[in-house]
Amino acid sequence: MLCPQCGWNNPASYTHCFSCHTPLSASAGTPAPDTPDPSADAPVYPGWGAFIAASLIDLVLMIVGAVILVILVYACYRQAPADFAGSTAGILIVVVAAGFALLLPAVLDSLAGGSIGNRLAGIRIVNRHGQAPGLLRSLLRHVVKYTAHSLLPLIFRFFEGLIFPGHSLHNLVSQTWAVSRRASPVAIQAAIDADTKAHTTGKILAIVLAGLFGTLLAGIGYLIIERALEPPNPRRDAARQVVIAGESLTRLSGNHFAQTGQFATSATELGLSQLPEGIAKVRFNARNGSIIVYASPPEIMGKRLVFYPEIKRSKTPTAPKWHCGSPDQVEADRPTSCRESVTAFLP
């Protein structure tokens, strides 16, 4: 008979422990009857309410965390040299801070047993072996989930349910399963092994998305390399500066049109006391909305750049889309955003 106090194994006839003299009850040392395991009957997959709650909680925490981190980063380098705030390093620090907050739930799902939203909703993310997914797999799941479900919440969810009944795209692509934290490991593994459709479909989707992503990266890489190998062109660089200055005029002119239904006749009508840097003179055509700016940079002094609106017919005026071109510069001396034909808008 085991002593409940010190664990000494006493003969069955003893009423007190030989070691510590603690009274021994008749039931001491008798194994307790088996009690049913509550996890044995717990469902493996939570309801949709739990999924929605977890996603919303994580989304709110991501947004709040990103805003707080960006504010803290800005406050830290606010006292740095003035040119640091707009530099590549300054922008990169802000992007990294915001990205960390936005990706934190994926890190927690992989390394800490679950994000805050999943923990509160009783959800656990596992791989096909019932274990926490690796970091890269968890990041893939997180990015696909919040890209598709946040940008197209209702439409995407509707078609997702039709194409992949009982499954979510982010789980299929990353080969992960969202299961109940109360379910037993044996039941979870059995459910995953039985879900053969998810294994096959997920692999196909992963290959397709990898191909699309690779094509996108190749296109971006081509543009970057082409831009890097492009020979220097001071005239194009100067024209780019004038285009940026001209876009500030088109925004003001578009807002003026949306509010009044008419285009401005002068910069003063737009509330400007002086022209943006890079523009020596400007002419407004209130009849068709076109704006002709005369460049001030020495490389293209006096050259004209023409901005004209694309007006959509609607009951109420809206800010138009703008196009840009130049009758005085060859196409190679203009940025790609300013290579439209503008002869119809010249005086």
Condensed to tens digits (0 to 9), the pLDDT of residues 176-187 reads 888 998 888 888
How does pLDDT run across 136-155, given as a tens digit for each residue? 888 888 888 887 666 665 55
**Tens digit of pLDDT for each residue in 171-224?**
888 888 889 988 888 888 888 888 777 667 767 777 777 777 778 878 888 877
| More confident of the two residues 253 and 224 | 253
Per-residue pLDDT at 225: 79
Q: How many helices (H) and strands (E) does the chain have?
A: 9, 6
Is pLDDT at 316 greater than 70 in this prediction? yes
- The domain limits of the chain are 1-31, 48-212, 234-345
Whether the full predicted model's pTM is greater than 0.75, yes or no, is: no
**HSE-up of residue 260 (Cα within 13 Å, Cβ side):** 14
Report how far residue 142's alpha carbon sits from residue 70's, in angstroms, rounded to the nearest whole number: 21
C-alpha 19 chain-centroid distance: 66
% of the chain with per-residue pLDDT over 70: 81
> Does residue 31 have a pLDDT over 90?
no
Q: Where are the beta strands (DSSP E) in 138-228?
A: 177-180
Task: Give the CATH fold of the 234-345 domain.
Answer: Glycoprotein, Type 4 Pilin (3.30.700)
What pLDDT does 280 receive? 94
Q: Which DSSP state fits 320? A: P
Higher pLDDT, 134 or 69: 134
